[in-house]
Amino acid sequence: MLRTKIPLDNDAVRLSYSELRLLSNEYDALALRTWFDLQAGIGSSAVEALRELCSENSVALIEGAKGLSSGEYNLPRFGSRIVSAWQRLAERLEELKGVQEELLALVELLFGANHDSNPTMEKIYKFLTHLIQEENVENVNDMITMLQTTEFEIEHTDEDLQDAVRLMTMHKAKGLEAPVVIVPGLENDLMPGSEDIEAINEKRRLLYVSITRSKEVLMLTHCTYRTGPGAYMGVGGGETQKKKSDFLNEMGFNRSFPADDENTGDFRDTGEWL
């Protein structure tokens, strides 16, 4: 069996998914940008202007939007549109918070309205409804995790999969092994992507599970810069320059060693050797 994820590839699904993520974490800059684009027509120029404003004032993207709405900040060209969009989003999030504890009602509000005419929306609606009724899904974060890891079975022979590359989340890696394991995106914005101690400890545990899946080769990667939509991944709020995850420093990747061609089997981290 090969398992493939539900495609979050149409605007209606992306919009509802962004609202779910913002309900969980209003500092989710990528979800905020998605909502601005799809629901309010706030394009890349306006978002970039907002990002520059936030960078100048050392605040997150959501705080910049709130500051424009309160009059704390000013953005002559795009300010009024962003204020209007933020007010609409704030109203929507309040509506969702009103049913946040009733997960079936929340799923209906997010994914139920148009699911009859949208096959992907219908899949998600039925899937989440089933999980809430039958499985251990207790809160919004559980729902997000399930959407990030949801897979459907497709028949394939073992021979088909011998040379395949498997993509999976850290949550799905437990109990599996592979000759080569690649763990990308090890930047502080994403890993741990939080200042909450419990969340940091959980991400550290997930990283440990991931790196111990490798039988022969382990590759850990991070970006120094992310541009375009990638700059808004995690909690970075659109900043293009990224900081290597503190978890890598904890593992010793803050130390530099001279390269030695005879030292085969060591791990390279953009010039650093361990």
> pLDDT value at position 156?
41
- Asked whether the predicted pLDDT for residue 168 surpasses 50, the reply is yes
What would the pLDDT profile of 47-67 be if each residue is shown by its tens digit? 899 999 999 999 999 999 999
Helix axes 44-56, 79-97, angle to 10 degrees: 90
Task: Please compute the mean of the pLDDT values over residues 232-257 and round it to a whole number.
Answer: 77
Q: What stretch(es) of the chain map to CATH 1.10.486.10?
A: 7-151
Helix axes 11-24, 29-40, angle to 10 degrees: 140
Higher pLDDT, 140 or 4: 140
Q: What is the CATH number of domain 7-151?
A: 1.10.486.10
Task: Please compute the mean of the pLDDT values over residues 225-244 and round it to a whole number.
Answer: 79
C-beta atoms surrounding 219 within 10 Å:
14
C-beta atoms surrounding 123 within 10 Å:
17
Q: Which of 68-72, 189-193, 204-208 has the highest mean pLDDT?
A: 68-72
- Asked whether the predicted pLDDT for residue 270 surpasses 70, the reply is no
Chain mean position to CA 195: 16
What would the pLDDT profile of 6-30 be if each residue is shown by its tens digit? 555 678 888 998 999 999 999 898 8
Task: Please compute the mean of the pLDDT values over residues 109-113 and round it to a whole number.
Answer: 86
> pLDDT value at position 88?
95
113 exposure class (CB count in 10 Å sphere: 0-12, 13-18, 19+): middle
The one-letter code for the residue type at 218 is L
What would the pLDDT profile of 63-78 be if each residue is shown by its tens digit? 999 999 999 999 988 9
Indicate the SS3 state at residue 15: helix
Q: What is the mean pLDDT of the chain?
A: 80
Q: Using alpha carbons only, what angle is made at residue 229 by residues 5 and 244, rounded to the nearest 5 degrees?
A: 90
Lowest mean pLDDT among 79-93, 142-156, 242-256: 142-156
E strand or H helix that includes residue 144: helix 140-149
CA-to-CA distance for 37 and 12, rounded, in angstroms? 12
Could you tell me which of 83, 43, 46, 92 has the C-alpha nearest to residue 65?
83
Q: What stretch(es) of the chain map to CATH 3.30.160.800?
A: 165-273
What would the pLDDT profile of 113-165 be if each residue is shown by its tens digit? 766 677 778 888 888 888 888 877 788 888 887 777 665 443 344 444 556 67
> pLDDT value at position 114?
65
CA-to-CA distance for 87 and 97, rounded, in angstroms? 15
- Give 151's DSSP letter: E
- Asked whether the predicted pLDDT for residue 174 surpasses 80, the reply is no
From the candidate CATH numbers 3.40.1280.10, 1.10.540.10, 2.30.42.10, 3.30.160.800, the one assigned to the domain spanning 165-273? 3.30.160.800
The two three-digit tokens of residue 14, written as one number: 């992306």
> pLDDT value at position 254?
65
